[in-house]
Amino acid sequence: MSQNVDPTREQFDRFKSLPRDTPIMMLNLVRLNAQAVYPDGETITGAEAYDRYGKFSGPVFQRLGGSILWRGRPECVVIGPPDEHWDVAFIALYPNAGAFMAMVTDPEYREAVVHRQVAVADSRLIRMGQSEAGAVFSA
């Protein structure tokens, strides 16, 4: 059963309560379903459905100034639940939180999101603000 695919009302309200005029990065961790089943009964792999999501949502993401800052290939969880794994990991950069809000409410994006919903078994989407980089770990 899918979990953590779409935000709860409380999570989305928290996101909306934060400043909208500063650049944000969104950490995306995604576990795909082996099979993606569409409402009309079409069945493909989760990876194929997620690729469709990228193909159809990408133009909206780019039009609003979004870009992929970093993409990696998850290999193993070093700290965390031993049975947890992710198929997709990336950080999306948005010029501001308003651009993210504009994306998720865009009619073209709303048509594309069904591909994500059938593709994803579990996910994490974590909003991050900018901080100074450095050579050591710090809070």
Show the tokens assigned to 107. 């009619």
Residues with Cβ < 8 Å from 117, sequence gap 6 or more? 2, 5, 6
The model carries a pTM of: 0.88
Which residues of the chain have a pLDDT value below 70?
Answer: 1-2
Would you state the pLDDT for residue 1?
A: 43
Residue 6 lies in a domain: no
Largest CA distance in the chain: 52
Residue 24 lies in a domain: yes
Would you state the pLDDT for residue 94?
A: 97
Find the domain containing 27 and state its range: 20-128
Number of domains composing the chain: 1
| Angle at 17 (CA atoms; ends 15, 20), nearest 5 degrees | 80
CATH number assigned to the domain comprising residue 71: 3.30.70.100
Show the tokens assigned to 88. 């997709």
Residue 68 lies in a domain: yes
